[in-house]
Structure 1
Amino acid sequence: MGFVTAAADAVVALLSLTMAVAAPLFDAQVVLPRGLYAAPLVGIHRWFAAEFGHYLVADPPPFFRGLVWLDLAFLWPVCVANLYGILARRPWSAATSIMAGVYVLTYMSAIFGEMLGSGRTTPKLIQLYVPFALAAVTAVLRGFCSCSAQATAVASHAPTARKKRL
């Protein structure tokens, strides 16, 4: 079971690291003026949209802009905290893993719904997002399993009630 836990920790830490870096450097270019970013970052952002046929990034509709604002306001700080919690082995990282995983799954359902419903998506774009959805499921499972393990550990160390002897 130790290997599975370590693998889940690694997957969730990688997801958190990716989101902690990508949200302010790349995702935010959808909602913030491009003049705030260095030319190489803007170039990578444009290349990404063209290479993967990501029409939502190239010409973002209002709902996508709203999702990016939520990314910046909610997911980014949660992922930073989650990464720290996993690396420092903090018990509260189970809760941040659940929060990040549920948010990413919700985000992905909106994105997948749009991409599959519009008929404008490419197989390459779907293949890009599937690992994020799987990592989000792993984050939720990691959080629930960690909470369950902590509850079991607390229960096993709880003092037992003694019977009064008369």
Structure 2
Amino acid sequence: MGALLKLTDAVLFLFFLVIALAAPLIDAQTCLPHSLFPQVIVDLKNWYSHEYGDYLVAEKPHFFVGIVWLELLFQWPLALLNLYGILGGKPWFNTTCLLYGASCITSMVAILSELLGSGKASDKLLMMYFPLLGLGVLAILRGLLPHSGNSTSAIGKRPLLGRKKRV
């Protein structure tokens, strides 16, 4: 079970790290003025939108803008907390994983319903969104797994934040 927890935590750590960087830099451009972002970041979002044919990012339908606000105000802080929880082996990590997973799945079901129902989405675009649904499922499953019960990192064997194990 320990190896499964470490593998799951490592995969979630990578996903949460990507979310921690992409949400404020890329996704926030959906609902905030482009003048707030460096031109290279705006160009990156525009390239992505054209390369993958992401019409939701390009057209900004109201439901999608609402989901991005949910991501920025709720999911992004949870991703940051989860990064800290993984590194610090925090006992509340399971709870924040459950919260993140439930919110992520809810958002992805709405987005994927639009993409699949509209007939506009390419396979390439769907392959960008389906892993995010998988992230939500993995976060929920991790939240349901037992906590290791110590203050050591779930990735390593020693405390990462300077705390000693209690005996």
Question: Superposed, which structure 2 residues align to 1:114-153 within 5 Å?
Answer: 114-146=114-146
Where does structure 1 differ by over 2 angstroms across 4 or more consecutive aligned residues?
Answer: none
Q: Residue type matched to 2:77 in 1?
A: P
Partner of 1:23: 23
Whole-angstrom distance in 1 between the partners of 2:119 and 2:146? 39
- The number of aligned residues is 149
Q: Residue type matched to 1:8 in 2?
A: T
Partner of 1:77: 77
Could you give the per-residue CA deviations for residues 37-89 of structure 1, whole angstroms, max 9, x where no partner exists? 00100000000000111000011100101111111110111110111001111
With structure 1 as the length reference, what TM-score do the two structures score? 0.86
Partner of 1:112: 112
Please state how far the C-alpha of 1:146 moved relative to its aligned partner: 2.6
Once the two structures are aligned, what percentage of the paired residues are identical?
Answer: 44
Largest Rg, 1 or 2: 1
Secondary structure of the 2:60 match is coil
With structure 2 as the length reference, what TM-score do the two structures score? 0.86
Long gaps (5+) in structure 2: 150-167
* 1:61 counterpart = 2:61: yes
Q: Alpha carbon RMSD of aligned pairs, Å?
A: 1.2
Q: Residue type matched to 2:14 in 1?
A: L
Please state how far the C-alpha of 1:3 moved relative to its aligned partner: 1.6
CA contact under 8 A between 1:12 and 1:97: conserved in structure 2?
A: no
Whole-angstrom distance in 2 between the partners of 1:90 and 1:46? 38
CA contact under 8 A between 1:98 and 1:139: conserved in structure 2?
A: yes
Whole-angstrom distance in 1 between the partners of 2:74 and 2:39? 27
Secondary structure of the 1:72 match is helix
Whole-angstrom distance in 1 between the partners of 2:98 and 2:16? 12
Could you give the per-residue CA deviations for residues 99-152 of structure 1, whole angstroms, max 9, x where no partner exists? 1111111111000000011110010011111222112211111111135x66xx
Whole-angstrom distance in 2 between the partners of 1:108 and 1:100? 12
Partner of 1:155: none
Secondary structure of the 1:146 match is coil
Partner of 2:95: 95
